[in-house]
Chain A
């Protein structure tokens, strides 16, 4: 099997989530391909648009959803800008899933902190869905999530509802509020002071911009989180997704293959 070959997927539905983020519900045109596609939370796919190229995009739908994939894409550059122009029925190419995943299966009976910054919510939403599905397996769960402005907080209604129903604490913040924003302003890391998790049995799963991950991790360690219980999903430029092209290479690791999820103690020398 040739790992570089994308498979056709059709866009079934598009939702605008914010000024520059849209969510795309896609389905492989080949039924068998859709059925056999299995992934784990935190994995990504390479999304193709013919004539433009491809980019790594996390899967934001839950793994148990077998009829479709949801991709949440920020208009950040060339390819993603073209994708934002597509409409229902258009086709894209998808290959994957690639990379490792957040190790939820090893974290049962622990307190969980899910932390997202900006578009980092994309894989975290999938993690949250999986945690909710198996809510009994985990202890206290808290989600902290920050974005630039209130309207950049995507999936927030859905998250609020799901957290309320499933005994999960949700803390939101924005860099810059507006008149109708009653919540917190400040960086995601500042929410760490409000955590009431038992750090000795807590694990943190984090995805966001580099600076956000750095500051959140610093806070957590100060709070007493153990380094090997902090998991971070790194972003790097990716071309192949399968450990060959070298673009995502960092200190002896390929983010696409050995990551994107890394244990803090393993990567602190280059975070």
Chain B
């Protein structure tokens, strides 16, 4: 394996040399999306029967929820699905495996800025060392159209981290909702291309548009109430200022549901599992039967470090047996070690863990408590 391959070089997106800004009349939006859907799978926020917003493949263009507050799920599943087939194996030719890459062209519309920020960090995780081809096969074929958040929720703290509510880079296309029209910014060549194909729908942005966009951005920023200071938490961790009793307190409140990790756009851990196509029940004593099983698949599936079995080794030894150690591990990873390795936190302040955590020991609540320790 060449060193270039190992480093995941050449996999990042090409930034557009000169970025261009446009205006899209809201009346034209669905027409544009309809056109895009002719050549790519369109994924957009959809209101489910439960009322919650998920990012789903669009069947009916009118299902797209334009004015949603927060999705119930992040967009991580688009490049890193909850279950992802890695390859098929056939026992007729044991060992000959064929990798399965899902590289359909996709346009993801309506991603919040924190989702894009998470994506840029995930790129580094999947590209560091060995390149994860499953992730990047999708990455290279997916265009993200983000929408800056005009109305952040109380649970959001992207502004404290610089990961939202608007971005100045990293997006393919960023929209700002200006009421009757969208301010459209292009960040990459790929983003520019899908605008150029339908250039007649877009107007040049003029001075008033820039002013409105700037105003909208400032207003959104002013809506963040509390400042969640992850840097303070990091310093306290580094200096060993947070005692075990605090983590014991959190552990008492944790239900081990794994919700925080499943929802977090930067929790990227997984397990790897084989499934036989002929689901025979085979006992170890008859393990040769496996060799007769014609074929199957190996896939990966989201896993959670909040579960006790996550680190369990053969013989039953487990370095992170108790809940307290597992919660600590999660926090240390995001707050101490992400910055050490990537110079960013493993958290973009999306607040999804706050919405989900039944024990109220999500990232934001933890950090608020830490402030007073």
Contacts and interface: CB of A to CB of B under 8 A. Distances in A.
Interface stretch (A50-58, A137-145, A172-180, A185-193): A50-58
Contacts of B248: none
B311 A6 contact: no
Given A4-B87, A252-B341, A9 B271 contact: no
A51 B276 contact: yes
Interface in B279-335: 282, 284-285, 287-288, 290-291, 293, 296, 298, 300, 303, 305, 310-315, 317, 319, 329, 332-333
Contacts of A92: 95
Contact of B95 (A7, A78, A82): A7
Contacts of A80: 314
Interface in B230-285: 268-276, 282, 284-285
Contact of B293 (A29, A51, A235, A240): A51
Contact of A50 (B1, B89, B130): B89
A246 B270 contact: yes
Contacts of B303: 239, 245-247
B44 interface: no
Nearest to A242: B130
Interface stretch (A83-91, A102-110, A194-202): A83-91
Interface string B332-347: 1100110011000000
Name, among A7, A50, A80, the residue most crowded by chain B CB atoms within 10 Å (CB to CB): A50
A2 B5 CA distance: 10
Contact of B296 (A9, A51, A54, A237): A51
B11 interface: no
Q: How large is the interface on B (under 10, 10 to 19, 20 to 34, 35 or more residues)?
A: 35 or more
Interface stretch (B121-129, B190-198, B206-214): B121-129
B290 A237 contact: no
A246 B338 CA distance: 13
Given A9-B95, A81-B284, A246-B303, A49 B290 contact: yes
Nearest to B98: A5
Nearest to B276: A51
Interface residues of chain A: helix, strand, loop or mixed (majority): loop
Contacts of A249: 269, 305, 329, 333
Interface residues of chain B: helix, strand, loop or mixed (majority): mixed
B130 A77 contact: no
Given A51-B274, A52-B274, A242-B129, A252 B336 contact: yes
Contacts of B91: 50
Contacts of A257: 129
B62 interface: no
Name, among A2, A80, A239, A257, the residue most crowded by chain B CB atoms within 10 Å (CB to CB): A2
B97 interface: yes
Contact of B132 (A6, A7, A244): A244
A246 B276 contact: no
Q: How large is the interface on A (under 10, 10 to 19, 20 to 34, 35 or more residues)?
A: 35 or more
B126 A244 contact: yes
Contacts of B99: 2, 4-5
Nearest to B309: A237
B319 A246 contact: no
Given A210-B317, A235-B313, A50 B293 contact: yes
Contacts of B95: 6-9, 29, 91-93
A245 B285 contact: no
Given A242-B130, A244-B130, A252-B336, A91 B94 contact: yes
Contacts of A242: 129-130
A66 B93 CA distance: 24
A8 B94 CA distance: 6
A134 B292 CA distance: 45
B89 A247 contact: no
Contact of B269 (A1, A93, A247): A247
A250 B341 CA distance: 13
B86 interface: yes
Contacts of A50: 89, 91, 94, 274, 290-291, 293, 296
Contacts of A29: 95
B38 interface: no
Contacts of B340: 252
A233 B285 CA distance: 32
B285 A85 contact: yes
Contact of B284 (A2, A82, A90, A243): A82
A164 interface: no
A239 B312 contact: no
A222 interface: no
Interface in A25-58: 29, 48-54
B314 A77 contact: yes
Given A4-B99, A54-B272, A251-B337, 12 more contacts: A7-B95, A50-B274, A50-B290, A77-B314, A77-B315, A85-B285, A86-B287, A239-B271, A240-B272, A242-B130, A245-B269, A252-B337
22 contacts: A3-B130, A3-B131, A6-B95, A8-B93, A8-B95, A8-B96, A50-B274, A54-B272, A78-B284, A81-B284, A85-B284, A85-B285, A90-B291, A93-B95, A210-B317, A237-B311, A244-B132, A245-B303, A246-B269, A249-B333, A251-B337, A252-B337
Interface of B: 1, 5, 86-87, 89, 91, 93-97, 99, 125-126, 128-134, 268-276, 282, 284-285, 287-288, 290-291, 293, 296, 298, 300, 303, 305, 310-315, 317, 319, 329, 332-333, 336-337, 340-341
